[in-house]
A = this chain, B = another copy of it.
Amino acid sequence: MPPFSADDRDILAETSLFQDLPPEELAQLRASARPVHRPRGGYFFMQGDPLERMYLLVTGRIKITQLGPDGQQILLRALGPGSLFGVVVLTQAKECPVTAEALEDSTALSWTRADLMDCAQRCPTFALNALQVMAAHAQEFQERFRQLATERVERRLAHTLLRLASQAGRKLPEGVLIDLPLTRQELGEMAGTTQYTVSRLLTQWESQGLIYAGRERIIIRHPHGLVSLAEG
């Protein structure tokens, strides 16, 4: 039985990288996709590995981290189903610049660089889609760079929660659940601060009724309240 067969069609068609491709290319990509599974704590790839595959997350959650020369880690992105990662394989880079770790049991489809490059050669639409994806990354990090350089911790954390909610938010009766099991430490790594400061801010916001803060679980009760914190 082909893995993920029930969802293959949908998930490729819903991914921006694969938009507007001719049917034969899409079919080819479906055929060359290889399923990969990782248990909680497992790695899809690690920083420094030879760069070989691009992934599309089908089920589970993962985090993308980067390690500095002195071992300081930051969390660049936390992703749920439908997200691409390892897109950098579309370039001539040789090593993974980041690590992809499963936050829970996860499955992904993966493609080799060769398969993708062939497709890009044949099909300009694919190459242009890839360009969009890259450009979106570049802009996101420019933006986050500016925030980190110019804004105070409180605002940055508010922005971080809002971004997470928009990427992995799940509507609940009480509010929007950030559907990713992130610790205070990890939130700190995303917002550019420490676990302690994150904890203090979340506690404060909870006492104001803005959010619910649980263990690896945050529900935003009043998004507009956070927005006004984030924007001033």
Contacts and interface: CB of A to CB of B under 8 A. Distances in A.
A105 interface: no
Interface stretch (A2-10, A67-75, A173-181, A218-226): A67-75
- Within the oligomer, what is the number of copies of this chain? 2
A91 B148 contact: no
A142 B141 contact: yes
A229 to B, nearest CB: 13
A49 B127 CA distance: 26
A172 interface: no
Interface in A63-91: 66, 68-70, 72, 74, 76, 88, 90-91
A131 B90 contact: yes
Nearest to A231: B69
Interface in A115-158: 117, 120-122, 124, 127-128, 130-132, 134-139, 141-151
A172 to B, nearest CB: 29
A135 B93 contact: yes
A72 B150 contact: yes
Nearest to A190: B149
Contacts of A146: 66, 68, 72, 74, 76
Given A88-B138, A141-B142, 9 more contacts: A74-B146, A76-B142, A76-B146, A88-B135, A90-B135, A97-B143, A122-B124, A124-B124, A141-B145
Interface of A: 66, 68-70, 72, 74, 76, 88, 90-93, 97-98, 117, 120-122, 124, 127-128, 130-132, 134-139, 141-151, 189, 192, 231-232
